[in-house]
């Protein structure tokens, strides 16, 4: 296994962790832009995933709230 394929695997694992974020605070995130998730985690944005492998349980709970922590509905 080459170093490039190992790095690719590690990146894929990180990208598959799905956090939710406020679409009003982050209306048009650009790749690599650091976002703050609803749970408070900060991570670089690499695009939306249709079917993420892992979902953040805290974000999943917070997404169902009527108003996010930032004050947006």
Spell out the domain ranges in the chain: 3-63
Averaged over 11-27, what is the pLDDT?
72
- pLDDT for 6 equals 41
| pLDDT score for 4 | 44
- pLDDT exceeds 60 at position 27: yes
**Helix (H/G/I), strand (E/B), else coil: 69:** coil
Would you say residue 51 has pLDDT above 70?
A: no
Residue 50's pLDDT is what?
Answer: 62
d(CA 69, CA 73): 9
Among positive and negative, which fits the CA dihedral 72, 45, 34, 56? Answer: positive
The DSSP bridge partners found for residue 42 are 36
């Amino acid at each position: 296994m080459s170093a490039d394929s190992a790095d690719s695997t590690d990146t894929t694992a990180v990208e598959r962790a799905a956090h939710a974020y406020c679409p009003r605070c982050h209306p048009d995130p650009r790749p690599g832009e650091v976002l703050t998730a609803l749970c408070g985690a900060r991570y670089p944005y690499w695009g939306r995933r249709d079917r993420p492998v892992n979902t953040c349980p805290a974000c999943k709970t917070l997404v169902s709230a009527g108003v996010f922590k930032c004050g947006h509905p």
